[in-house]
Amino acid sequence: MDQLSAHLDRGWDLAQRGDAAGASACARRALELDPQSPEVHNLLGYTAALLGETDEALDHYRQAIALDETYFEAMLNAAEVLIPLGDWDEAVSLCDDALDLAETDEEACDSLLLKVDALLAKGDDDAARVALKRIPSGPYVNPSHSFLVGRAHYELGDMKSALPFLEDAVKRDGENPDAHYYLGLLKDEEGEAHRATESFLRARQLDALRPPPPWSPKPDTFGTMVENAILKLDVLLARYVREAQIYCVDLPGAELVVDGVDPRVSLLIDAAEDKKQVRVFVYQRNVERTAGSLAEMEAEIGRSLEREVTTVFGNVPNETDKRHLN
């Protein structure tokens, strides 16, 4: 094995283990050997994405594609980064390009599933249904495909079609927390509260075993983010939580999940009946999952606060009442 291949193999091994810094170091050494290698830029993009550096990741993926216009993997990697950034049209275009290059049913499945995700994020449900129908029928060798097809059916409101795929995913890969979570959502929709709770508890248990992302802030830093998000709230909303007791923890407790709390909720407000005693629980792992990067975490906390304040306290004062607020 030549030195370049050795660095690449070592880098991908470290990346799959979650060691983004180690993988990036291997990729940088490979880059010194061959700065025009599309494989090197793809690995650099992947490690940058793991570290939450989305702009850098896209730069490397685009460079990899420029160096090799048939680079299937780099196209899908770039599309996956673009979707949470809201660049849905470019993501769809990359998925279509990848689909044209797909040589196996599995590759076609990967391309179409990512395209469905982009179209769902864009809000184009009709186009998403069309893309979903093009996905090769199962059974799938990879249980993650069962999950992703099931999730797509669920997101499109087709519970009957989603159920067998999600059950198959859970059966064949019982360590996938996402499969358990979506099966819980489906069972909750069907009114099967006990089965939904069982699935949610399993998802929570598996989420707790996952290591935090490499860019995860320390607890003190996360606490400061929460404080800043509260300070930035509109005065009409902030009045409800400015004196609240704030608690930052990793995940909602199992007892809350049993009582009906979503195990992946980012934030929860607990208010006494008179609304004068208020506690705010902020769940760091869930904020990280939804935000997707360190740069987006404070904004995600702010959005969650706005939703939860409105839910818990009902109609907030309108703009004409602002002069009465201290």
Question: How is the chain split into domains, by residue range?
Answer: 137-213, 219-324
**Type of residue found at 286:** N
> What is the percent of the chain with per-residue pLDDT over 70, rounded to a whole number?
96
**Type of residue found at 70:** T
- Average model confidence (pLDDT) across the chain: 92
In this predicted structure, which of 12-26, 61-75, 183-197, 204-218 has the lowest mean pLDDT? Answer: 12-26
Q: How far is 169 from 268, CA to CA, in rounded Å?
A: 30
- Assign 316 a pLDDT band (cuts: 50, 70, 90): low
Residue 137: per-residue pLDDT: 83
Mean pLDDT of 25-42: 93
Mean pLDDT of 93-120: 96
Predicted confidence (pLDDT) at residue 102 exceeds the cutoff of 80: yes
CA 98 to mean position of chain CA atoms: 22
Predicted confidence (pLDDT) at residue 319 exceeds the cutoff of 60: no
CATH of span 219-324: 3.30.2010.20
Q: How far is 31 from 181, CA to CA, in rounded Å?
A: 40
Predicted confidence (pLDDT) at residue 204 exceeds the cutoff of 90: yes
Per-residue pLDDT of 147-160, as tens digits, reads 999 999 999 999 99
Predicted confidence (pLDDT) at residue 298 exceeds the cutoff of 60: yes
Is 216 buried (19+), middle (13-18) or exposed (0-12) by CB count in 10 A?
middle
Predicted confidence (pLDDT) at residue 143 exceeds the cutoff of 70: yes
Written as six digits, the tokens of 191 are 């009114």
Q: How far is 44 from 182, CA to CA, in rounded Å?
A: 32
Residue 320: per-residue pLDDT: 38
Mean pLDDT of 17-42: 92
Positive or negative: CA dihedral 280, 286, 291, 294: positive
CATH of span 137-213: 1.25.40.10
Contact 297, 225 (CB under 8 A): yes
Residue 317: per-residue pLDDT: 53
Q: What is the chain's Cα-based Rg? A: 22
Positive or negative: CA dihedral 75, 81, 84, 85: negative
Q: How far is 54 from 46, CA to CA, in rounded Å?
A: 10
Residue 276: per-residue pLDDT: 77
